[in-house]
Structure 1
Amino acid sequence: MRDDDTAILGAAEERATAPPTGPTDDTGLPQSGPAGGASRRPTAGGGPAGRWLPRIVMAGLVLAALSLRPPITSLGALLEEVRDGLGMSGTVAGLLTSVPALCFAAFGLAAPRLARRWGPGAIVCAGLAAITLGVAARPFAGGTGGFVAATTIALAGIAVCNVLIPVVIKAWFPDRVGPMTGLYTMALALGTSLAAALAVPIAGALGGSWRGGLAVWAVLAAAAVLPWLVVARQRTAAAAPSAGAAARPEDAPLRITSSPTAWWLALFFGLQSTAAYITMGWMPQIFRDAGVPAGTAGVLLAVTMAVGVPLSFVVPRLAARMRHQGPLVVLLGLCGLAGQAGLWLAPAAGAWAWALLMGVSNCTFTLALTMIAMRATSSAGVAKLSAFVQCVGYLLAMPGPLLVGTLYQHSGGWGLPIALMAGLMVPQIALGVLAGRDRRIEDEA
C-alpha cells in the first residue's frame, strides 16, 4: 500500500473512532469544514466496526463507481441487437440515448430530500439495489415498454448515486476530497471502458445472447450493494442536532439559486457533459467517414475513454491543491480545442493523437465533480449543490448530440458539427474559470 493510501486510511480511522461531537447538517451527517468547525464525519464508535468502516466506505465507493456506467455503455454496444430482438423502432432507440440525461436530471433532484430523511449511505444503497433490479430485469421484461421501464428504474438508481456520492466523500473524507474523488472517478472511467469493450464479447460467450450481455452487469451492481448495507446501518442517533441547540447562520435554509458560483458550475457541468456525449456518440462516425476502418474507429473511442482512467485519479488531486482551478479548466479545454481542430483538418492522418486529446479533455467531468465538493463547506451544501449542478447540467446536455446529428444530416459533412463543438468549448472554458474561483455557496446564498 502506498503512503498516500495509508494516510487516507489512518486519518479516516482516527475520525471513525472519535466521539460524536458537534452539530449536524440536514443530510443527517456531521458538518465539515469552516461552517462546522473542525472537519468531522459519521461515527461508528470504537472497536472493530469503527476501525474497519472507513475501509468499507472506500470499497463501497469503488464498487459503486464500477457499477454506475455499465448499464448505459453496455446498452450502447448492443443497441443494434436489442433493436432487432425487441422490434424496437428507430425513434425509440434514439430516445434511449437521451433518457439517461433526462433521468439524471429528474431523479437527481430527489436525492437531497431522501438523504435528509434516510441518510446518504442508505439512499446510495437503495440506488444500487435499483440498478441491480433494473439491469437484471430489462432483458427479460417482455417488449419495448418493459425494457424502457426497467431501464428507467436502473437510471433512477444511477441518478441518486451520482448526486450523493460526492456528499459521502465530503462527509467521510473532508481532508481527502481530491484523492477520494480521484479514486471514485478512476473507477467510474474503468467501469465505463470495461462495459463498452466487453459487452459484445460477453454476449458472444453466452451463445450470442444480447440478453445475457446486458443482464450480467447486474452482478457487479449487486456486489456493490453489500458494503453500503454496512454503511447504512452505521447511521447513529448522533446525527441529530442536540435539543435546544442555538440556531446559527449556517443552519439557515440554503437558497442554491442565489449563488452565482452554483450557476457557473451548473453551466460548466452542462457544457462538459455535452462535449462528452457528442464525443462518445459521434467520434467513431467522424473517423469512419474519413476512411478509418470501423474496427479501428471503435478502438479509437476505447482509447479516448481509457485515457480517463489514470487521469481521473490525477486531476482531482491537482485540483484539491489549487485555490483556483481555472488553470486546469483552461488546460483541459485547450486539449479539447486541439482535438477538435485535428478532427476537422486531418481526422484520419492524426486519428490516434486526436483520440488522446479528446480523452484528456473529457477529464473535465472529473474536475467538475471535485469542484462540487470544494465549493461548499458542509455535507448539506454539497448535497444541494450536487443535485442542482447535475440537474441543470444534464438537462443542458440533452440537445447536444441530437443537434450534431441534425447538422451532419443536413450539411452532408462534419464541418458544421465540429465548428459547433469548438464553439461550445469556448464558453465552457470561461464558465469553468468562473466556477473555479475560491468561493463557497454558503457565503453567496
Structure 2
Amino acid sequence: MVASVENTSSSPAAERSTRRSRRVLLVWGLLVVAANLRASLTGVGPLLDRVQADLALAPAVAGLLNALPLLAFAVLSPMVPGLAARCGPERLLGVALVVLALGIAVRWVPAGSGLFAGTVLIGAGIAVGNVLLPSLIKRDFPARVGMLTSAYATVMGGVAAVASGVAVPISRLAPGGWRTALGCWIVLALVAVVLWFPQVRGPRRAPAAVRNHRLPWGSGLAWAVTAFMGLQSLGFYVVVTWLPQVLQDSGTSAVAAGWLLFLFQAVAVLTSLVVPAALRWARDQRALAATSSAVLLAGYLGLLVAPGWALLWSVVLGLGGGACLVLALAFLGLRAHDATAAGALSAMAQSIGYLLAAVGPVVFGQLHTVGSGWQAPIVLVCVTAACQVVVAVVAGRGTVRPAHRACDRGGR
C-alpha cells in the first residue's frame, strides 16, 4: 500500500521530468537543424573564384550556385505546409535533413553537374527547415517566439560565419581542394539527422499551421512581411556570394576577403543576440526594422564610395544584416495570431521572398560582367536597401488575419 502511494505521488513529478527532457531535446534538435540551414551555402562565396576557374564558369553562371537554393526555397516553400499535414512536420523535417546530407555528398562529386545537382538538393532540404522551424517554435513555445527565434538565428549565422572563414584555408590544406571545403559540412548534417531522429520516432503531432495551410495572398501586411524577408535575403546572399570578389578586386587577398566575410557574419551573430531585448522593449518593430535597414544601406553606400575601408563596411553590414535577419524571422510569428497563421505566413514569405532574393546574386554578377566594374551592382543593392527601409515601416506592426476571411485587409 505504501509503495503504491509512493508510486502514485511520484508519477506527476516523473511525467513533468519526462516532458521537460523532451522539450530540452526538442530545443537542441531545432538548434542543430538551424546550424545546417546556411553553412553549406555561405562557404561558396570565398571559393567562387576557384570554382569559376576550375569549371570555366561565367560570372552569371557562377552566381547560380547561390541562386539555385533560393529558387528551391521559392518553389518548395508553399508546398511544405501541405506535405507536413500528410506526414507530420517532424517526419518531414527528418526527410529534409537526409536530403540535405545527400546534396552535400553529391556536390562532392568531381564534376560540374554534381556541384549544381547537389546544390539543388541542398536547397530543397533547407527550404523545408526554413518553413517548419518558425511554425514549430510558434506551436511548442508560443510565449518564447522572440527568444528562440534569436537563438536559432544566432546558431544559424554563427555556423555560417565559420563556414565562410574556414573555406579558403580548408581548400588549401585538405585533399580535394574546394570540393572538400564544401563537402565537409556533411558531418554536421549527419549529426542533425541523428539528433532529430527521436522527434521522428515520437507520436505524430501536426501543428495547426499544417491543418489549415491556406496562404494569406490577400493580406497587405503579409506582402509587406514577404517583401522585407525578400529584400534582406537578397542583400545577404549578394554579400555572401560576391563580397569576397569585390574586396579582392580592391586589393584584398583571398584569405583576408574570406575572413572579412566571416567578420560580417560574426558581427551579424552578435547583433542578433541583442534583438530580443529590443523586441521586448518596443511596442512594435517599425523603428527597429527601419533603422536596421538604414544601417544596411549605409554599409552598401560605404562600399560604393570608399571600398578601401572594407573592415568598417563589413562591420556595418553585419550590424544591419544581423538585426534584419532576426526581425524577418520574428515577423513570421509576431505578425501571426496563432500557429496556423505563422505556418501560412512563413510559407508565403519564404516562397516569394526567396524568389526575389534568388535574382540578386545572378543580376549582381551580370551587371559586373556588362559594366566591367562593381559600381553598378553596388548601386543595385543600395536601391533594394532603400526600398527595405520603406517596407519595414509597414511590416513592423499589426496582425495578419486568417486567409479564409474574405474581408482580410492585411492587418488589425
Length-normalised TM-score, structure 1: 0.80
Deviates more, 1:200-209 or 1:151-160: 200-209
Residue 270 of structure 1 is aligned with which of 222, 230, 243?
A: 230
Q: Which residue of 1 aligns with 2:6?
A: none
Aligned partner of 1:123: which letter? L
Residue 309 of structure 1 is aligned with which of 269, 277, 298?
A: 269
- CA distance, structure 1, for counterparts of residue 139 and residue 331 of structure 2: 15
Residue 133 of structure 1 is aligned with which of 92, 99, 102?
A: 102
Aligned partner of 1:386: which letter? S
Aligned partner of 2:244: which letter? P
Residue 134 of structure 1 deviates from its aligned partner by 1.7
Q: Which residue of 2 aligns with 1:171?
A: 139
Is the Cα contact below 8 Å between 2:165 and 2:261 reproduced in 1? no
Q: Which residue of 1 aligns with 2:358?
A: 398
- Aligned 1:22-421 pairs, distance under 5 A: 46=15, 48-82=17-51, 87=55, 89-90=57-58, 92-140=61-109, 143-236=111-204, 254-348=214-308, 350-363=309-322, 364-421=324-381
- CA distance, structure 2, for counterparts of residue 307 and residue 394 of structure 1: 23
Partner deviation per Cα, 1:75-127 (whole Å, 9 max, x = no partner): 44444555666x46436534323201101111222211111122222222211
- CA distance, structure 2, for counterparts of residue 160 and residue 252 of structure 1: 17
Structure 1: give runs of 5+ residues left out of the alignment: 1-16, 19-44, 242-250
Residue 339 of structure 1 deviates from its aligned partner by 1.6
Partner deviation per Cα, 1:381-432 (whole Å, 9 max, x = no partner): 1111101001101111222233333333444444433332222222211111
Deviates more, 1:382-391 or 1:95-104: 95-104
Partner deviation per Cα, 1:214-262 (whole Å, 9 max, x = no partner): 332111111112232212333357x699xxxxxxxxx977451011111
- CA distance, structure 2, for counterparts of residue 351 and residue 261 of structure 1: 36
Residue 157 of structure 1 deviates from its aligned partner by 0.7
Residue 379 of structure 1 deviates from its aligned partner by 1.6
Question: Is the partner of 1:175 in helix, strand or coil?
Answer: helix
- CA distance, structure 1, for counterparts of residue 44 and residue 384 of structure 2: 28
Is the Cα contact below 8 Å between 2:238 and 2:360 reproduced in 1? yes
Is the Cα contact below 8 Å between 1:182 and 1:317 reproduced in 2? no
Question: Is the partner of 1:235 in helix, strand or coil?
Answer: coil
Residue 194 of structure 1 deviates from its aligned partner by 1.2
- CA distance, structure 2, for counterparts of residue 210 and residue 267 of structure 1: 34
Partner deviation per Cα, 1:271-313 (whole Å, 9 max, x = no partner): 1112222222333333334444444333322211111112222
Structure 2: give runs of 5+ residues left out of the alignment: 1-10
Residue 330 of structure 1 deviates from its aligned partner by 1.6
- CA distance, structure 1, for counterparts of residue 215 and residue 100 of structure 2: 31
Question: Is the partner of 1:256 in helix, strand or coil?
Answer: coil
Is the Cα contact below 8 Å between 1:375 and 1:441 reproduced in 2? no
- CA distance, structure 1, for counterparts of residue 15 and residue 228 of structure 2: 42
Deviates more, 1:261-270 or 1:73-82: 73-82
Residue 50 of structure 1 deviates from its aligned partner by 1.7
- CA distance, structure 2, for counterparts of residue 426 and residue 323 of structure 1: 24
Residue 208 of structure 1 deviates from its aligned partner by 4.6
Q: Number of residue pairs matched?
A: 390
Distance 1:178 1:276, change over 3 A: same
Q: Which residue of 2 aligns with 1:441?
A: 401
Distance 1:309 1:253, change over 3 A: closer
In terms of fraction of residues, the more helix-rich structure is 2
Aligned partner of 1:353: which letter? L
Distance 1:128 1:215, change over 3 A: same
Deviates more, 1:430-439 or 1:149-158: 149-158
Is the Cα contact below 8 Å between 1:324 and 1:436 reproduced in 2? yes
Distance 1:59 1:320, change over 3 A: same
